[in-house]
Structure 1
Amino acid sequence: MQPPAKMKERYSAPGLNPVRSTREAPVSTFGVDVDTGAYAHVRRLLNQGMTPPADAVRVEEMINYFRYDLPAPTDRAQPFSITTDLATTPWSRRTHLLRIGLRGYDVARAERPAANIVFVVDVSGSMEADNKLPLVKATLAMFADQLRPDDRVSLVTYGDIARLALGPGNDREALLAAIEPLKAFGFTAGGEALAIAYGVAQSAFIQGGINRIILATDGDFNLGLSDPEQLKAYVERARADGVTLTTLGFGDGPYSDAMMETLADAGNGAYAYVDGLSEARKVVVDELSSTLFTIAQDVKVQVAFNPDQVSTYRLIGYENRQLPQDGFAHDSVDAGDISAGHQVTALYEIELASAKQVPHGQQAGGTHELATLDLRYKLPGETVSKIIRKQITVPRETPIGPPQRDFAFAAAVAAFGQSLRGGKDLGDFDRDDIVRLAGPQSDLRRQEFLRLVALPAAASRR
């Protein structure tokens, strides 16, 4: 069934990327995305028997929810590795899939810089449900166990009023004591709370360390500064002082997915959605300690396709990460950041220029230089970007087979996401095909994905 109107969930609504002719538009440019909130949010809706609204499905966030076996970078001077590979498209005999994978270097918890964290917790009336404030409190308790002696943590809460509930310190018991009595009441003075949080973060600023605000809310700002564009502009101004913003979404009806993603993007942080204790552990125990540490900023991808080899292309997902071609070279244009341990995967569906002359899956003669991949990024604290260039080529007269292993699983997630958005590019490729493409999995999160595909609510809209 569809989510009921009373849920009042709000999403951004970018249009789907079109198929583009390389003769007319050979260059594709976008900023990386390390958010995963859309996958967990979609999972919650499916588990509740609801078909997710198409606008709730951001395919790149579904793909990037999972980890893949990408090689680690060999030198931290270039903070991430780059992998590209090509396979036949499982849902089309006419096209191929081009995979681009980035993997940031890993940092052990003991090796990361000291962290100055300000939690901002929504305690307004809309947070009363069990999957909201009680789950926030459990999540923060897990984080308390991850504190290191050189970390600083603060707590700001907001309902009818915003207040500093706990000043900067390193006392685990004091943090737990500040969390325990929190109760939901009143309206939502989120803008005022952010102002307090940025002030606290600056007062406890750690030079050369991690300085981050973590906002835990359902995104239902309705008191004081609440306009999304004004909040975005405020966060963009504040990030210039070196404090980033991560958002953790909780609950449903009302829930503003659009607000959560917008604020995280503006704050050079990431957006995750927490739908249960298992996800809370993944976010704050398994991942947050390392991913707090940014290793590359304003990471942009530009792919220039060779019209002699590629006739059309379509970027799967990243609709709201598109950048103008001339924005790639300008260091003032903001893009996504990559933290330690982060991975980014992008898939293009491409049609080879020679596809009509050659059997499916085989290349014709020529240079076989499919595209040039350029990546721009800044090292933390620097204002001038660095650039990496990689030629994407395929061997002459070498058969190209279907995607295997991790590539196959990423393609299966991409197919599932596209089916939830309407599936017009999938032809007759159905849920059984998605399960077969993904293959048997030993990882619990991947097993859960296979279970989601089989749920009645996951039936395609086609």
Structure 2
Amino acid sequence: MRSKLLISVAIPAALLASCNSQQGSSVGYRSGPQQMAEADSAAAPDSAERYARNDVAAVRAVAQEPVSTFAVDVDTAAYANVRRFLTQGQLPPKDAVRAEELINYFRYDYPLPQDRAAPFSITTDVAQTPWNPETRLLRIGLRGYDLNPSERPPANLVFLVDVSGSMNEPDKLPLVKRALGMVADNMKAGDHVSIVVYAGAAGVVLEPTASPAEVRAALNDLSAGGSTAGGEGIQLAYAMARRNFREDGVNRVILASDGDFNVGITDQTQLEQLIEKNRDDGITLTVLGFGQGNLNDAMMESIADKGNGNYAYVDGIDEARKVLDTELASTLFTIAKDVKVQVEFNPAAVRQYRLIGYENRALREQDFQNDKVDAGDIGAGHQVTAIYEIVPAGAKGWLPERHFAANRRPEGQTPDTGTAQGELAQVRLRYKLPEGGASRLITRPVDAGQLRNAPMPRGDLAFAVAVAGFAQKLRGDDLLGDWGYADIRRLAGTQWGFSQQAWWRSEFLRLVDLANTQARTASTEGRGEDRAL
């Protein structure tokens, strides 16, 4: 039965009993306390927004480090947040730009898996690097199988809504109501939604219901005020999810907040242990960020990762529709868990490399085969793209020549006249099926012959490369040389016609224009120059 929110609501002891005793943890691929400590120095200028430190990844020498390992990422928050900054006439803080989230915001023309025995297809291709004639780009693309809405299992969803005073802005709680209302509109037979809120205290606003009308009515009754008992709210939300757990369905908490947790569980480790314990028991966490000024991006990304969920930033109703309507099945239905990618480069073909993005998703080489190490999940229809920039054997690299005396380029030889044979690299993927169990391994060789006469990026690949370059440009990547916004726009400008993405790709061109304008304005203030479009 629905009831109006009372700001002072006692937490039901029976509901919290199981959560308060949880002490479990698992080996993860993020260091939460360290990340949050670094976040204090990575706030946006002139605001209380917080971003985790996010340095551009270092170049690796194949002779010393031939293997690169990382967990997949399907978050998209960074792209929408970058759009918010640029639309408001500002360049985003460098730490707010996570390159992989910009690249993965878009869909690419990857083939569907031939059957569901393997949950995703794997695509690899090689092209010249537009900003460096000496290097090549290796793209790795995954595409999960699509799910018909009628195939989605029933969902036990708990909306955890921040109604503290900081949410009393047009782009916060009012937008939350409209966004979560879209989830209600997409409810199917067997789905149940409950609503928990937190402000000065946490409380249950809506007991589990199968009625979309009741969900919408409860959302409409919410109002903002008070401090933020975020940790307390998460405890109660998980307790609700446990009480109504569906063995045959989806069990997920959807948190909507600006991330301004200032009351409740303040110890990062304790909060992450709570989230990890529930994740391991089958309750995942999706995090939706709203608003500006006090956005705690570092916290929200971290807890979404720990909860095996996704993190999206909702800057308007169009983004809400994309995340919670168009892509809802991907959000709710996991087809592969703990997905890890490992690339081993052949030193006879490649001498140096760098992975564009995924800095905070890096894994140790030995973590790849360790099924106890948590990694990212892929939902139905999800895509994951990773781009490596590589230096072929015999080409001029970034690192000092003295490290590669035996592999220097002969006088007058160019990368295209090399004689690489065999494999350029071996791409390996590990994943678990949704029901768990031992991980499965997929291996794909990449032919070294692709290094010879590699074409310039064309079509769909050109757009992906343009987005990668855009992200790195915003981050101040000095390995781009003088390749600027005009070049990014030129590469992407004729490549955005992929039928599923035409609107979003055309909007990307607008963001490149805005970034160029801001960079030129900043150059007059002593922050450097970029060529005019």
Cα distance in 2, alignment partners of residues 63 and 396 from structure 1: 23
Cα distance in 1, alignment partners of residues 45 and 109 from structure 2: 41
**What are the within-5 Å matches in structure 2 for residues 440-459 of structure 1?**
440=494, 441-442=496-497, 443-455=502-514, 456-457=517-518
Counterpart check, 1:434 vs 2:474 = no
**What are the within-5 Å matches in structure 2 for residues 136-175 of structure 1?**
136-175=176-215
**What are the within-5 Å matches in structure 2 for residues 288-437 of structure 1?**
288-355=328-395, 356-357=409-410, 362=416, 364-395=418-449, 398-437=452-491
Contact kept in structure 1, 2:199 and 2:226, CA below 8 Å: yes
Partner in structure 2 of residue 186 of structure 1:
226
Cα distance in 2, alignment partners of residues 215 and 360 from structure 1: 53
1:144 is displaced (CA, Å) by 1.3
Number of equivalences: 461
Contact kept in structure 2, 1:46 and 1:458, CA below 8 Å: no
1:364 is displaced (CA, Å) by 2.5
Under a length normalisation based on structure 1, what TM-score does the superposition of the two structures give?
Answer: 0.97
1:458 is displaced (CA, Å) by 5.2
1:257 is displaced (CA, Å) by 0.5
Give the letter for the 2:127 counterpart: A
CA-to-partner distance for each residue in 1:314-333, whole Å, 9 max, x for gaps? Answer: 00000000001111110000
Give the letter for the 1:451 counterpart: R
Query: Which structure carries more helix by proportion?
Result: 2
Match of 1:129, SS state, is: coil
Percent of matched pairs sharing the same residue: 55
1:288 is displaced (CA, Å) by 1.3
1:360 is displaced (CA, Å) by 5.0
Contact kept in structure 1, 2:51 and 2:297, CA below 8 Å: yes
Partner in structure 2 of residue 92 of structure 1:
132
Partner in structure 2 of residue 63 of structure 1:
103
1:229 is displaced (CA, Å) by 3.2
1:251 is displaced (CA, Å) by 0.4
Counterpart check, 1:227 vs 2:255 = no
For 2:170, which of 130, 142, 146 is the aligned residue?
Answer: 130
CA-to-partner distance for each residue in 1:293-341, whole Å, 9 max, x for gaps? Answer: 0000000011010011100000000000000111111000000000101
Cα distance in 2, alignment partners of residues 76 and 207 from structure 1: 22
Counterpart check, 1:115 vs 2:176 = no
Instruction: Indicate how the Cα distance of structure 1 residues 458 and 64 shifts in structure 2: closer, same or farther if over 3 A, else same.
Output: farther
Contact kept in structure 2, 1:361 and 1:400, CA below 8 Å: no
Contact kept in structure 2, 1:300 and 1:375, CA below 8 Å: yes
Partner in structure 2 of residue 9 of structure 1:
49
Contact kept in structure 2, 1:235 and 1:267, CA below 8 Å: yes
Contact kept in structure 2, 1:189 and 1:224, CA below 8 Å: yes
Give the letter for the 1:457 counterpart: Q
**What are the within-5 Å matches in structure 2 for residues 140-289 of structure 1?**
140-289=180-329
| Runs (5+) with no aligned partner, structure 1 | none
Cα distance in 2, alignment partners of residues 454 and 84 from structure 1: 30
Cα distance in 1, alignment partners of residues 44 and 353 from structure 2: 37
Instruction: Indicate how the Cα distance of structure 1 residues 19 and 396 shifts in structure 2: closer, same or farther if over 3 A, else same.
Output: closer
Cα distance in 1, alignment partners of residues 425 and 480 from structure 2: 24
Contact kept in structure 1, 2:111 and 2:121, CA below 8 Å: yes
1:15 is displaced (CA, Å) by 2.2
1:75 is displaced (CA, Å) by 1.7
Q: What is the root-mean-square deviation in Å for CA atoms of aligned residues?
A: 1.7
Give the letter for the 2:391 counterpart: E
1:291 is displaced (CA, Å) by 2.9
1:289 is displaced (CA, Å) by 2.8
Contact kept in structure 2, 1:112 and 1:290, CA below 8 Å: no
CA-to-partner distance for each residue in 1:375-409, whole Å, 9 max, x for gaps? Answer: 11000122310000111114378521111111110
| Runs (5+) with no aligned partner, structure 2 | 1-41, 396-408, 529-533
Cα distance in 2, alignment partners of residues 215 and 42 from structure 1: 21
1:279 is displaced (CA, Å) by 0.3
Give the letter for the 2:512 counterpart: V
Cα distance in 2, alignment partners of residues 306 and 4 from structure 1: 41
1:7 is displaced (CA, Å) by 2.0
Contact kept in structure 2, 1:14 and 1:320, CA below 8 Å: yes
Under a length normalisation based on structure 2, what TM-score does the superposition of the two structures give?
Answer: 0.84
Contact kept in structure 2, 1:363 and 1:396, CA below 8 Å: no
Cα distance in 2, alignment partners of residues 419 and 172 from structure 1: 44
Greater CA drift, 249-258 or 352-361: 352-361
1:233 is displaced (CA, Å) by 2.1
Cα distance in 1, alignment partners of residues 68 and 451 from structure 2: 27
1:363 is displaced (CA, Å) by 5.3
Cα distance in 2, alignment partners of residues 381 and 458 from structure 1: 48
When Rg is computed on C-alpha atoms for both structures, the one with the higher figure is 2
Contact kept in structure 1, 2:162 and 2:197, CA below 8 Å: yes
1:171 is displaced (CA, Å) by 0.8
1:354 is displaced (CA, Å) by 2.7
Counterpart check, 1:81 vs 2:115 = no
